[in-house]
Structure 1
């Protein structure tokens, strides 16, 4: 039973600033810091390959000291708004009615809400009362693809069904005003807020790229590399500087066995649908595959226009490819990384 991607939709928060417009906020935030340190922070922002970032909060709110409760309340409120808008947009794009959905997966790691977002969407859009729901909350940037993998497995076992994966992230809500660590600064420089929804189907005659295979890959003994620490002031970013090098060292094991399993080599892949984790990770991936004539231009463009929106970002990259209507029969490889440390892969046939 084939499972196909019907469509992808995105939704951005109302606030945004260019990197140039963010610099004055840095001056106010870093007013008591050493001048050399201030120059270093500005250089990180200016060299992050992110031209613009969106936010669920006005930048003044982001750089104002608030409690974890206050920030999380904003996250909950805005996550519901973004989630409803992006799901409605995707359903309209697919010409599906809300009650046609059999399975809903919501993905987020940048705030805490119980009931989870899917419960609010069931009520807000009047989804079916017997819809199956799955919230994915702790897989970070990898979770957009993780949600697609879970949906694909459900749909493959249940022909004639439809699923929605909704990723809503607000890394700006995790910004720590009193934390001047490199992890917090780099996170603020590369991350932005956004939402995406991808619809999958196992119905007969459905159009869209087919998911040929999917697989997860787990790095041993690298739990320390990425994640959040829950503190009294909120979710504090954990981000090891060795992430790009660690990813590079594992690439042969991540890519080649997965492709070999499908009787393919990297040369057979036409489209690289990679998550833009940050400038260094993008450069690492580009260096690895440029000799094969592969490019990750869409990945770089998403990073430039929106920043890293955690789990939602790779879906923005996928949307760009789908809007270009790739040649029929061409193959795409989706890839993202997240806490654990882990890599998630999906093989597509357009």
Structure 2
């Protein structure tokens, strides 16, 4: 049975706080007719700190889409390799053990995908399959897990590496002053993440069933307008109500697996904002404590798009996980409106035998193969 192993996460060094965000909004948009509403909405996100790829003074400038995309590529190539090796270490594997790389990102564009660069530069086998996913937004973290799960179901002894890279701050558009755009300026953060799905062996979340759900006729609720200045994020005011439409799909998937979603042992969901978590408590009949890891990600790092589910899951690992065979849900939500959902059970790591090389040794061998470190 395929196992999602412990993720590896990294965030940029530049930090912006809630207070700084509010002060910027007051300064830059002092004459905005709905400034009071914007400030209240940003405060209500609960986001206390965010990490961004550039200092805020540079983030607020717009040198053009080409310059921003070159920065995206440069920083992706700088930040992704360490999290890849971290994820391989966590899974006890090396680069030559990977059969598929799933790369998800919606904040920059490269062709060939970063997957080709990773294979060439880090020493993955030239037969490694590549699956870039660029247009599922925040749902792509869940989709990556599901496509890796599908691959390992088809090839039970194969292993898949997931990489998520989101530099949301590079999508800042100074001319977009709608309430939804200004809210997003105070909500999104930057991060990179990686995780391995092992087809056989490993510790973490044993993946049992996955599913997708699209809410009809909501394509324009979350979208990009692609213009000469790059990606312009568009957010409909109805988006906060989406859990009323998606919660039944989560419950239905659980029921198909003969599980009661209200009685699961862990929930790792995309925290696009606090309303999502609050509504899931109501519609799924679970206690707020069940979403503590997703809420911590939102509070400390903001909405980091496809990286959210991996950051929240890593927090669960860091906290010791749940009891062996504990049941849980992982879900990402994004444009469409789309939900990508997976059910799994917790599988604790076995105690290593004396003299066993262990995950760190495997990962370091991977770095040596790639000429890194």
TM-score range, shorter chain: over 0.9
Asked if residue 154 in structure 1 is aligned to residue 127 in structure 2, the reply is no
**Pairing of 1:1-350 with structure 2 (within 5 A):** 2-31=1-30, 33-34=31-32, 37-203=34-200, 205-252=201-248, 254-289=249-284, 295-323=290-318, 324-350=320-346
CA distance in 2, matches of 1:292, 1:75: 39
Root mean square deviation of aligned Cα:
1.7
Contact 1:83 1:168 in 2 (8 A): yes
CA distance in 1, matches of 2:274, 2:303: 10
* Secondary structure of 1:185 counterpart: helix
Q: Note the residue ranges of structure 1 that are not aligned, 5 or more in a row.
A: none
Contact 1:107 1:147 in 2 (8 A): yes
How many residues align? The count is: 345
Q: Note the residue ranges of structure 2 that are not aligned, 5 or more in a row.
A: 347-373
TM-score between the two structures when normalised by the length of structure 1: 0.93
CA distance in 2, matches of 1:348, 1:233: 42
CA distance in 2, matches of 1:281, 1:325: 23
CA distance in 1, matches of 2:217, 2:287: 31
CA distance in 1, matches of 2:337, 2:80: 27
User: How far 1:293 sits from its partner (Å)?
Assistant: 7.5
Contact 1:3 1:156 in 2 (8 A): yes
CA distance in 1, matches of 2:251, 2:289: 15
CA distance in 2, matches of 1:251, 1:282: 11
CA distance in 2, matches of 1:279, 1:207: 30
User: How far 1:108 sits from its partner (Å)?
Assistant: 0.2
* Secondary structure of 1:57 counterpart: coil
User: How far 1:208 sits from its partner (Å)?
Assistant: 2.4
1:107-160 CA-partner distances (Å, limit 9, x unpaired): 001111111111121122111111111101100000011011111111111122
Contact 1:7 1:200 in 2 (8 A): no
Tell me: CA distance 1:182–1:51, structure 2 relative to 1, closer, same or farther (3 Å).
Answer: same
Question: More deviation in 163-172 or 287-296?
Answer: 287-296
TM-score between the two structures when normalised by the length of structure 2: 0.88
1:233-288 CA-partner distances (Å, limit 9, x unpaired): 11111111111213313422x12221111111123311111110112222222333
